[in-house]
Amino acid sequence: MTMRRLVDVAVAAAALVVLSPALVAVAIAVRLGSPGPVLFRQRRAGLDGRPFMLLKFRTMRDGAGGPGITSAGDARVTPVGVWLRRWKLDELPQLVNVLRGEMTLLGPRPEIPELLACLGPLGREYAAVTPGLADAATLTFLDEAELLAGATDPERRYVETILPEKARQSVAYARRRTFGSDARLLWALARRVAGVPPKPSWSEFHAESSRSLDR
């Protein structure tokens, strides 16, 4: 077992224990907020494109159809779901995915296989890294739903505009990551979720990451 895997298991297990009261509270809120299951399961592409079932707290009305990409103001999202998405609490069940070895703490966000296939060679390089809860691209696209707001076809805009840039930033970060950069990334992510504006250094980092793909 590698050091990164040991850290993943230790941190995910500890987080699930420490956060268990909050997880139970969220589960109750989801169940009382709207009819349907507490958890949402979706097929995603894992390492080397192998599929697995991603876990999330359900944030939409059960059985709601529509596009696979969600924009801000989507009527399918429940009032409880809006709050969970704002604070990224809907992602907490993915700690179980980390324990299973399907995800890691820090890595590219796992994509829907059909969308990932649209990237071609870049998509294969993206999938060559174990997906995670977050990575450097998460800083840029933390408010992804807002970027998609008003789009007549959110899924098309995502595939043509957002996904390629996310993939480029994720691949660039994976090529040069260190334990030190991971620590800085975790701190930056915590600040962003708390509503603190990003530091200029992280904007510069993203620019450098994009340039590194051209080398």
Q: What is the mean pLDDT of each run of 10 residues along the chain (215 residues)?
A: 90 97 97 96 96 97 84 91 94 97 96 94 96 93 87 90 95 92 90 72 48 47
CA quadruple 107, 199, 165, 84: dihedral sign: positive
> By the 8 A CB rule, do 170 and 135 touch?
yes
Q: Which residues pair with 53 in a beta bridge?
A: 43
Tokens describing residue 100: 């299973």
142: CB partners within 8 A, 6+ apart = 192, 193
Give the orientation angle of helix 163-176 with respect to helix 179-193, to 10 degrees: 140
Q: Give the H/E segment covering residue 45.
A: strand 39-45
- Domain boundaries of the chain, sorted by first residue: 3-212
Tokens describing residue 113: 């296989």
State residue 165's pLDDT score.
Answer: 96
State residue 205's pLDDT score.
Answer: 52
- Global pTM reads 0.87
State residue 66's pLDDT score.
Answer: 79
3-state secondary structure of 69: coil
State residue 147's pLDDT score.
Answer: 87
> By the 8 A CB rule, do 103 and 9 touch?
no
* Among 33, 5, 34, 175, CA closest to 104: 5
Q: Which residues pair with 106 in a beta bridge?
A: 134
> By the 8 A CB rule, do 181 and 101 touch?
no
- Alpha helices, DSSP H only, in 34-135? 79-86, 94-100, 113-116, 121-126
Q: Output the CA–CA distances (angstroms, integers) from residue 50 to 5, 108, 120, 174, in the order listed.
A: 18, 14, 16, 19
Q: Report how far residue 80's alpha carbon sits from residue 45's, in angstroms, rounded to the nearest whole number.
A: 27
